[in-house]
């Protein structure tokens, strides 16, 4: 009886683990970003969100028609950014930066950050 219960419990655990695995890997998908293109976006930092599971830069800029646009730029987790020289106050509201990103496939203003440079063109943090 105990062996049958243990076998049933082991089978149930295996099924639950198999069903949860796609959800765990889906979180880290880059499918929403066009990884074949890079775009440089320059503007003013509105907010730097140092939060888990990803940090974000809210970047205010203007489009080709002269209208204000806000980009939401996704970055890695704070623990990885910290190892690359980033700190919670590395970017402050009002700073001028340019970001090289892989844009969103949807065409919406956003993307995933590859590199960030300050107004003088000096890289912020590292990607190594």
Rounded (10°) CA dihedral 103, 107, 110, 115: 20
Q: Predicted confidence band at 103 (pLDDT cuts at 50, 70, 90)? A: very high
Q: Is the pLDDT of residue 109 over 70?
A: yes
Q: For the chain, what are the domain ranges? A: 1-28, 39-118
User: What is the percent of the chain where pLDDT is above 90?
Assistant: 70
- Give the list of residues 6+ apart from residue 70 with CB closer than 8 angstroms, or none: 46, 58, 59, 60, 61, 109
Per residue in 41-90, pLDDT (tens digit) is 999 999 999 999 999 999 999 998 999 999 999 999 999 999 999 999 99
Class of domain 39-118: mainly beta
Instruction: State phi, psi for 98 to the nearest 5 degrees.
Output: -125, 140
Q: How far apart are CA 110 and CA 104, in angstroms?
A: 6
Q: Predicted confidence band at 3 (pLDDT cuts at 50, 70, 90)? A: low
């Amino acid at each position: 009886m105990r062996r049958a219960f243990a076998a049933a419990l082991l089978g149930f655990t295996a099924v639950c683990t198999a069903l949860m695995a796609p959800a765990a890997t889906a979180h880290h998908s880059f499918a929403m970003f066009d990884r074949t293109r890079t775009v440089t976006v320059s503007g003013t930092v509105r907010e730097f969100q140092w939060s888990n599971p990803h940090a974000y830069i809210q970047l205010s800029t203007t489009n080709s028609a002269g209208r204000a646009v806000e980009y939401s730029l996704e970055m890695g987790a704070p623990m990885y950014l910290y190892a690359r020289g980033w700190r919670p106050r590395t970017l402050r509201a009002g700073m001028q930066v340019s970001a090289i990103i892989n844009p969103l496939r949807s065409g919406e203003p956003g993307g995933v950050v590859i590199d960030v440079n300050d107004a003088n063109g000096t890289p912020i943090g590292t990607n190594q």
